[in-house]
Structure 1
Amino acid sequence: MLLTEDIFSIHNDDEFSAHALSVFNHQVTHCEIYRQYVHHLKVDVAEVKCLEEIPFLPISFFKTHSILSNKLPVEITFSSSGTTGMIQSSHHVTNVKVYEQSYLQAFVQFYGNIRNYCFLALLPSYQQRSGSSLIYMVNDLIEKSNHPESGYFLYNHDDLYQTLFALKKKNQPTVLIGVTYALLDFIENYDIDFPDLIVMETGGMKGKRKEMVREELHAQLTQGFGVPAIHSEYGMTELLSQAYSLGDGVFNCPKWMKVLIRDTNDPLSLVQNGKTGGINVIDLANINSCSFLATQDLGRVNSDGSFEVLGRFDNADIRGCNLLVQ
């Protein structure tokens, strides 16, 4: 029997591989869409013995099918952002506690105790729609921080400036998580020299500004906020885990998540570290949907297992995950 507690207690690559193969066998049995996909590829499930042999489901299936690996009632459905008329992805979650454990444990892994921080959110595009998994996470982080100044700032930039100034004065560890265009809008009118501030951009211009290369974007943000680096999170509706970059656009996964790179000309083959290709994600927190997803993002994996996002496939819909054209 698969237990989520086991997934979140992974310590090394061998344990990850063992759990991933166990999840694969569970999902290929219980997820109808994934089983059909694997069957269509003529993969002999009994012969899948390592991560590199596991088939990855195209992430676009979340737009057209209900991806579930159990028959439990759906507790919450997360949906992707998109322009009018665009088909949105829907991630039906039968146990939202798994998502909560994923983002809470990942934050502790990369940043430490949540209660040490004040969380400020500048996410107008996400706040103004329903079904955002990012808003669900930020709501919980704000609540669990139990800090009186934690909260959202829609378009009230003056209030945000005054709050940041006060927190800086008190030497309060602070995380400002914001959609890219809103962070740029803020620094056009306000300068704050707050070197200890963690500025975490979630990506996305939402049609509000022209897309920028990451180096140019982060240069503007580091100068505007007076910080040494810009942090980022790599997440999306179809995943229940996020990878984090503490600067320079280099992302690291929590221990139950891994990125592999597929050949752009042969999507069923993987490429070596350092080579550019399509990003495949193994997210074991997706135990109740599908943990093996072929995204529409381009990237490369470094020798230490970290990865970089280099753009998107040309025919991919532009959505609200953290993707910048390099």
Structure 2
Amino acid sequence: FGVPYITEADINQKYERHSVADVYANILADLEEAAPFIPEISANNAHPNKAALHSFYARVYLSMGDYERALSNANSALVLNGELLDLNDYEKAEGTTWGRVHLKGNPSERMPDIDHPEANYVKWLSGSLQGSVMLSHEMRDVYAKDLNGAIDLRKEYFFSEDMADLGGSPNYFPGECAFVLYSNFNVGFTSVENYFIAAECEARIGSRQRALQLVNKVRENRLQDFSELQASTNEEALIKVLEEKRREFCLKGPMRLFDLKRLNLEQRFQKTITHTADGETFTLPANDIRYVLPVNQEILEFNPDFPVYER
């Protein structure tokens, strides 16, 4: 089942759970209907523009596994906005929270948010996980791969090893690495997501060299003393792209959840997630029914005929 898709404003409407295919069809129909009214350039990043429209299409088609259309729309979005923020122009300041990462030599010029050059459409997610979530040891290994002497500034700026001095009393967590981005992050549509969509699609159905070119463009703006990724096959390039995407979007919204759900449909990428906390081990196998979130009980009370998944 998909989600109930409301197509008209009618409080007396009887809601149904449509198929996932129906939901996709409705989303695409809405985008097609909206397209003529979306300007190429919007007043600000809180309003959609043509780059956001193509980004939306690209994300939907990627989720559907339609890699040709996903690639076409990602490329169209990148023509309109292919900007990337170069983290090499920034540095971090200890003992601060918001504004922790700022322009080199200018502490008052913190990392941009609403006017972020990568933003096609801004939908902020509050950084409420600050200091309360630790990087898994597996993810630490992912960050350590393919460095060749470089420094990944995403991990350097947005995480803290062993302790975090963020104003007030320092927090200590020996042997661990905490998420301390201290900035709102955009879960709307961005140029960097389109780089990864295009790179993945190229690795799957197109050019290995082009896939690497796209992902290396991102790395050039994220790593200090950057070196290019290399791959001898499309399969190897695809793995490199997916790993780099994990590094880019780690703990920044639902991107990893979306990718896990779609990649688990391919046997070669199926993943069992295991975490241990307070001596208890928690496991989530690939395609487990717990990947599907339950319908809110209050909604079920108003719609007792809704079919629900076994949990």
- Structure-2-length-normalised TM-score: 0.25
Is the helix fraction higher in 1 or 2?
Answer: 2
Q: Which has the higher contact order (CA 8 A, sep 6+)?
A: 1
- Structure-1-length-normalised TM-score: 0.24
